[in-house]
Amino acid sequence: MNWERLGPIFNANGRAKWMHSHAYLPTAIEMDADRIRVFLAFRDDLQVGRLGWIDVSSSDPTRVIAFSERPALDIGRPGAFDDNGVTPLAVVRDGARLRMYYAGWQLTPRARYLLFTGLAFSDDGGDSFVRYQETPILDRTPAEFIVRTGAHVLRDEEQDLWKIWYAAGSAFVETAGKQVPTYHMAYLESSDGVSWPDRSTAVLKPIGPDEYGFGRPYIRKINGVYEMWHSVRSHSKGYSIGYATSSDGVNWQRQDRVGGLEPSVSGWDSEMTCFASVVENQHGTFLFYNGNGFGLTGVGVARLRK
């Protein structure tokens, strides 16, 4: 695979109090023949993220058509698992509704943060979302009690199953003078996409000593083959987008050099690339992603060269 970088397409740039900086965790879905909606988290001046969106042209995703004037999903009430931030992870069609699986951020005195997965529904095409419940659908377990999020959800209609791949971890490591979670990628199946088992299967583990985690992946299934674009977190690079394939969604062959996207030589994505989200339509295959500073430099897009 050969990706052509089309550059950054949107950043917050102080557009509103809730949209002060960053545009991170792009989560894209084609809404119709003319429009792709990219859900993003934007930070306020206290670095608290809220979920919003931009609409871009399906034929030219560097052209922004519209953006949300208010949060599509705000933070949870004090004490909730998502009271210090919400970030999009996966958007899935469910009949006429949209499901949004999202990460909830919570701060604690002894750990930098806890991350678990929530679910919200939209009946207005993604303009706004309502929580399914105020507690996580992927909550802490004895084996995964710090991080259980960074998820991609796929509705496999052939098998009549909901499938989730997510970051799971219970420990911290130090990098660049900060304590950050270390986690592997885990996998679960569900009959309804709401109730998930506690015991997961580990499907990707960091290659030590440099790697220590995987950020939110994007996964698709075409002709029985799964493709994954994952964010490899390492001490040396920060984040870089990798690529893997699988015949069953469990056993993966990493081919980062084949389909991934490394940081560029200079510019907005020269320090890191992360959080890929792929849309394929009649105009091409487009990969939305973040660059430097976990979205501080905005969201950008690359196109697959034929």
Read off the CATH number of the domain in which 285 is found: 2.115.10.20
Beta-carbon contacts of residue 106 (< 8 Å; ≥ 6 apart): 80, 81, 82, 83, 84, 113, 114, 115, 116
pLDDT at 246 over 90: yes
pLDDT for res 208 = 84
Give residue for tokens 């996207």: 261
Tens digit of each residue's pLDDT (9 = 90 or more) over 133-147? 999 999 999 999 999
Rg of the chain over all Cα atoms, to the nearest angstrom? 18
d(CA 264, CA 219): 23
Q: Is the omega angle on the peptide bond into residue 209 within 30 degrees of 0, that is, cis? A: yes
Q: What percent of the chain has pLDDT over 90?
A: 95
Neighbours of 197 (CB within 10 A): 10
pLDDT at 237 over 90: no
Q: What is the pLDDT confidence band of residue 306, given thresholds at 50, 70 and 90?
A: confident
Average pLDDT over residues 211-218: 96
pLDDT at 1 over 90: no
Tens digit of each residue's pLDDT (9 = 90 or more) over 61-99? 999 999 999 999 999 999 999 999 999 999 999 999 999
Q: Give how many domains the chain has, as a whole number.
A: 1
pLDDT at 270 over 90: yes
The whole domain housing 217 covers: 3-304
d(CA 76, CA 105): 9
Q: What percent of the chain has pLDDT over 70?
A: 100
List the structure tokens of 175: 């990098």
